Structure 1
């Protein structure tokens, strides 16, 4: 920009400032103002009534079911709430249109009044307004479609249950691993402490063995102990005790000298069965028969060969 142009711009700005200070600048001098035309609303009542007659259907009220009614009376508790709400709106300078509670209440009252009047009219015309108990209506969807919907819902429910079950199993596994790890660490620590105490005892630092009594395993619950004992007794009675089996029934010095189980009356002749002494020698079926000794082997072979010849 040249010096002459710069000076001319400054002069024009100074002239505008002087004109604004004197009040010579007015709207419309520099920027043209477009005047807005006022919209004229035509209230053609005659044409509107004619159009209403054209679209109106001359049908019975039962076919139209249109009602014009005033709002139903308010319940006492709702009236109290409305009064309180109006007092708040009046204090905050809110209009009735902005009172949402009152507006919704008016809608409800209008619908309630229409229902009461409509039911009375229908009852006067003999129209049933309630379904009978044995009313059967076909569903909008077919049975096959509803079966598909039901199968889909059952499938989704089963998938959800499966996912929940898997999640619980994972949590249980994590918990069991954690418990096993803690138990293992606890055993290792106890073992380490025990070995340390044993080393101290060997070196003579410790004189007593009280740590062995303190490290005894804790007894289980009575119910679990009784159950395990019964199980152990059953297995012992069925399979016997473990360990070495040979030589368990051999006599020892103590067992031979033990006479607690000896019953002298058992070997008494009176307790023995009659005829047991000479049972081998006596022939069956004969009383007071003589004892016949058995022949030798040579005689038996000779007599056998004679019978064959």
Structure 2
């Protein structure tokens, strides 16, 4: 130690600083080896939290308040400082029950007084309304809206007419698009039906030609395929619901015929002769009366005239 002291005295100031830094490093290494130096203990002074200094400039705040303060009448401000309105009996009873419940479950929690705080807010607002209404009435300010009062709309009538025209136009465009869509679907369906009918006719024609070829070649001896075609056409016609004119035509055809042979249509046949229940079902008296009222023949009328002349 003596030698180091002598060396320190003999060294220059710069060399002395280097020696001190080396000595401090050696001391740090010695502390670290002993376990006395732990991470987080060495913090620079700049990183330490500094105490915040609050500026309470009372003079400046008062000057700024005088600068922005505006002395408007009370009717423009409508500010009130009031107490609490009288408590209703049912509310008082409810508050007492709530207080008893809080005493039983009290554990220093301020949330149990939530209902009490809300009731105080309500009473304070109620007191402000009562005092404000009375003050407005004393100033002659109406507090109720007249029955014939209509508030002015935020938007003008011209603007609303534009909106209405736009909505009508949009609705018309939607209807037009829907109509076009339906027409397209109908066209697709009609085209599909036409294609199916065309294909069906082609298949029927092809099958008919095949049957005719078979008949010509002698493979087929009968012409039943022609009758089948007629039956199919008749069935398709019968499946259709007849209208009024068709029913009328059918009745006339059954009564008067529809062309062809008419001779002997009212003659008896094997079936009509065997049908004992057929024929007229009128009583004989009616037929007798009919025969009595029948006009006499020409010869009989001439005889009657000659008798009268005599």
* TM bucket, shorter chain: 0.3 to 0.5
TM-score scaled by length of structure 2: 0.44
Q: As a proportion of its length, which structure holds more helix?
A: 2
